[in-house]
Amino acid sequence: MNENQLNTLFLNGILVDSSIKDSEIEDFDSLLKKLKENKIAFLDSAVMHELYDGEPINQDSYVEIIKNYDGETSSGKPSDWVTYFNDRFKRLRDLLLIKDSSGIVSVSAIRDMPQGSDVKTIAMVSNISISPVKKYTVFDIEDSTGSYRGILTSQDQDLLADQVVLIKGRKFKDALFIKEIVYPDIQVKDSKPKEIEDSYALFMSDIHVGSKLFAKDAFELFLKWINQEVSEYSSIAKLVKFIVISGDLVDGVGVYPNQEKELEIKGLREQYEAFFSLFDRVPKRIKLLISQGNHDATHIAEPQPKLDPRFSEPVYRLQNAIMLSNPYQVNLVIGGSKTNLLSYHGFSIPYYADTIQKYNKMNPQDIEEIMKLHLKSRHLAPTHGSSQVVPLTRDYLVIDETPDIYATGHIHKVLASKYKETILINSSCWQYQTSYQKKYGMNPDIAKIPIVNLRDKTFQILDFLGEKVQVYRT
């Protein structure tokens, strides 16, 4: 679409999804007429498909974008990193100020305060260490005005380097003795059921199409189920409105040494072609929210832009696909009721499993705790270095809004749980155990799909690994 066409749509009150802004429209006037006749306020690929194919328009469900990285770049200069960290600090500080804004002082002001003063400040934490004798936690606190020493006479395992927190303490000698640490944390969402019919979102990731270990049979069973060709839980399949696919769509090429030995499809484009053939069999009334992981055709640093069409063009042919960045945040809208979804592939999770002793088994409970740490920090990779990042003017990994659902993948484990009123999901994988996983004793959860009823936020996990679809019990 050209600028004129986008403007005309805008002036007519019609917003256009970024995934179709580049599509060529042959007869714009007739498209506009149809949009107006059908009172469409949001034009996405599914609506476009329905208009052109003459199928009934499903105004019932759509996706409203809240946060989606559009691919702006950074030169990575030192000043870009300063801008990036300032943005992160400011936005997290604003979230903390909503909780408590009285009597906050800057870090540099602490130096001039009398000994014994009570101090309240908002700061970024760094250089955390445990003192060898007394087992105190010693760390630096820092804002744009300066830095100071903080001492906690106990240990708080939720305290992570580079987190932004509100600190209450008392000045003594050249340190601040901490009495309380307040985390930005998420809010408690409204848990009342919505006044809509039962409607489901499914959560998938780590399909790894192209791998010799791709779980073909299980995927076939899923395709039969979603097309209501098997009787088990068919009533649920009928009510699915969204499938969220959070990265690692294909196994990729050259992701790790000697990967080619484990590939059935050796070309990246061919892998995406195979992905297309599978997902093209999902009914077109269901919207596919597609984002990428470290095996896909984009750079690995986060945020990752939507898939690069030079390599993944077949995916763009899925008429019901909505192509998004990693991470992204959207509202899943049904009959006017919104469910706020945050999707992140999950690349930072192993860092915390490696650095926090008690999580090193990486079982679903550990992953759940790490996901809670993300939400508590209001950041998807709070410690610098826990994922690779692009220093943009805006930090896309800050969690500005409390999601109703926080979905990740990457770990090849399945979990569905709740923190406060937010549903936590890790969506298993579709790849049998690789030689690498075998070497490190990692047992993947295969072909499990967490499902959420968007009416009342109840959830369960369906298992497609056996002969029949069944409910998975952990």
The residues that touch Fe ion, with contacts defined as CB under 5 A, are 206, 248, 293-294, 410
Indicate the residue among 45 and 431 with the shorter CB distance to Fe ion.
431
CA distance 255 to 24: 34
Residues 6+ apart with CB under 8 A from 88: 164, 379, 395, 398
Indicate the residue among 65 and 245 with the shorter CB distance to Fe ion.
245
Residue 353 CB, nearest approach to Fe ion (Å): 14
Q: Is the peptide bond before 327 cis (omega within 30 degrees of 0)?
A: yes
Residue 207 CB, nearest approach to Fe ion (Å): 8
Structure tokens at 104: 């906050």
Indicate the residue among 246 and 320 with the shorter CB distance to Fe ion.
246
Indicate the residue among 173 and 439 with the shorter CB distance to Fe ion.
439
DSSP string of 125-163? EEEEEE-TTT--EEEEEEETTEEEEEEESS--TT--TT-
Residue 412 CB, nearest approach to Fe ion (Å): 6
CA distance 390 to 74: 7
Indicate the residue among 312 and 331 with the shorter CB distance to Fe ion.
312
* Nearest CA among 162, 176, 186 for reference residue 121: 176
Q: Are 364 and 426 in contact (CB under 8 A)?
A: yes
CA distance 250 to 295: 7
Residue 431 CB, nearest approach to Fe ion (Å): 7
Indicate the residue among 44 and 248 with the shorter CB distance to Fe ion.
248
Q: Are 463 and 448 in contact (CB under 8 A)?
A: yes
Residue 392 CB, nearest approach to Fe ion (Å): 22
Indicate the residue among 184 and 350 with the shorter CB distance to Fe ion.
350
Nearest 10 degrees: Cα torsion 315, 320, 326, 332:
-170
Residue 345 CB, nearest approach to Fe ion (Å): 6
Residue 293 CB, nearest approach to Fe ion (Å): 4
Q: Are 410 and 294 in contact (CB under 8 A)?
A: yes
